[in-house]
């Protein structure tokens, strides 16, 4: 017998249809919230100035896991994707270095443009 299971996400802010589950952490506590595209964008925009100035913390959660294996929005980028974002940023007047981490605000601007 075939079985079909459907999961429908409900936006935790406004009760409408959600498109994604956003994970974030603050003060040592991780949170998940189901949000529509619009509310997820609002959350990312609100956090953007803090994220772009922050550094990643070693939470110890990566032990035993392959780097980049996570399913969150901040997955490890491939070299090709990084090069594509850098080229886009330069073409659109964003300051970006040739090497190293690309600022979250630039990655977000790139994703919003595509």
Task: Kindly state the percentage of the chain with pLDDT values over 70.
Answer: 84
Residue in this structure with the two tokens 């299971």, named with its chain if needed: 5
Q: Is 28 left (phi over 0), alpha (psi -120 to 50) or beta?
A: left
Q: Which domains does the chain have, with CATH numbers?
A: 8-40 (3.30.60.230), 76-114 (4.10.320)
What is the C-alpha to C-alpha distance for residues 48 and 41, in angstroms, rounded to an integer? 10
Question: What is the tens place of the pLDDT at every residue in 67-104?
Answer: 444 444 445 678 888 888 989 999 988 888 888 888 88
In the 8-state DSSP scheme, what is residue 47?
H
pLDDT interval class at 60 (50, 70, 90): low
Q: How far apart are CA 82 and CA 79, in angstroms?
A: 5
9, containing H or E segment: none
Q: Sorting pLDDT into bands at 50, 70 and 90, what band is 31?
A: very high
pTM listed for this prediction: 0.49
Distance in angstroms (rounded) separating the CA atoms of residues 99 and 109:
19
């Amino acid at each position: 017998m075939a079985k079909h299971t459907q999961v429908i996400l409900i936006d935790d802010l406004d009760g409408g249809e959600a498109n994604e589950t956003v994970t974030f952490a603050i003060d040592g506590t991780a949170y998940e919230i189901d949000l529509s595209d619009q509310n997820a964008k609002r959350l990312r925009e609100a956090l953007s100035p803090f994220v772009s100035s922050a550094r990643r913390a070693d939470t110890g959660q990566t032990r035993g896991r392959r780097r980049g294996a996570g399913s969150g929005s901040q997955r490890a980028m491939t070299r090709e994707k990084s090069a594509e974002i850098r080229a886009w940023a330069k073409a659109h007047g964003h300051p970006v270095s040739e090497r190293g981490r690309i600022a979250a605000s630039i990655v977000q601007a790139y994703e919003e443009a595509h």
